[in-house]
Structure 1
Amino acid sequence: MNDLTEKEQLDELRAWWTENRWMVIGGIALGIAIIVGIRMRGSFETEAALSASSQYEALLEEVAAERSDPARTIADTLFNEYEDTVYADQARLAMARLYMDSGRDADAADVLRPLATARGDEPMQLVARLRLAKILLYQEKPEEVLELVKTPKDSAFAARYNEVLGDAHFALGNFEKAAESYNAVLADERGQQTVDLALVRMKLNDLPGGDDADTISLPAAAAMPEPADVEPSAEVEE
């Protein structure tokens, strides 16, 4: 018979345990270490997020008070210690606005550039590219705008991007391409709430031959007062 007696089964179990006990104990210890590590990592990430949030709130206070030096100190902390958080990206947008309000367009461009030129099309990256493009236009660098800005896949930003592209083409004397971009704005029903349609139409008509250009008629709603400069939908604090 192949059936083992109780004593033989016990002896086999003891032999197996003697041979494999360290592997079993090691596996248990590894499992415990993984569980503890995951919990510690979660706790660390939570603490880091809370700290970054606190730093960002302090930054907004300094920005609101137009205190650029302490704001820059806080922003540098966010950039260096919390670069992978959403608060670092928001800090770049906030600092850019502060610099522009202070007439420091070069500093505004510098602080926006890392976010604006990063790969990807996250909402804050799209906002950063749009703002950097406007600064570059202000600095009379339309060629850089064309390199930076492409019409994004997110149609909520398309109208704003096309208007900036039209401005860059106009500055370069590419009037036909400028007309194409402005017409794309006027044809974008979803994006019409994010731009000043009357201004875009004025830009289009100011192009050489604009009065004779094949333009798209504005909807009746364009005769109503335009909304304020609406930012495309993005969860971005400014």
Structure 2
Amino acid sequence: MNERLSKTKLKDIRALTTAKGRAEAGRFLVEGERIVRDVVAKGISAHVAIFDEEALHSKPTLQKLAASFNDRALLAEPKDFLAIADTENSQGVVAIFDLPKPGCQMAAKTQRASFLVLDNVRDPGNMGTVFRHASAFSCAGIFLVRGCCDPFNPKAVRASMGGVFDVAYEMDVEAEALAARFKKDGVALFACENVKDARNAFDATLPSHCAFIIGGETEGIHPAWKTLGAQSVAIPQSARMESLNAAVAASIVLALRYRA
């Protein structure tokens, strides 16, 4: 018989739904049967998994997952589970993992490497999708600057499909310091923006070490990046739309680099 979720533990877990609570505890929530199973399959251990007892009784696959957690599986009444779930139609499981340690390493000169710099990307769905595709296309690291949302926000984590565990990252990075770091390590800096003097991203011959700046949904890339040495590259598109979604733009440039 699995232990039931106590009111004290419920309070502690609910704190992880906030950025402050996650930072203080060094842990975050992963919601959904598939993503929890996939993360555990990577060999990453969860502290505990909370199961909606009603969903557990009706889903054999969820029962199998709960059994794999042994005494680290907690049963929650539906109303208590809803207090920690981020989705209206939850799959019945939320697990708690340690926050991955931040830190991006510059690649060796002999290796090809692509980095992303996210500038004011505030939408959690976009943030998570960037991490998902960064994992798919072997991105060497993601740097978050100027007003980005927390990549360990529950919505971002779900959208990443486990990508937040795969890709190195750094948060709250200062643009000036990052540009100096790239220059020192021989990483060329490119701003992905549809401006007049931009090079065509599909035709440009790029160096082995590149970092691509992706702007947020509203403000785009801050003009200061130009003074920090960033060159503009544009993804060709029709005039029907002013710009591409941030996650889509990041995925395209990473796919181009991966293909090459």
For the aligned pair, the TM-score class normalised by the smaller chain equals: under 0.3
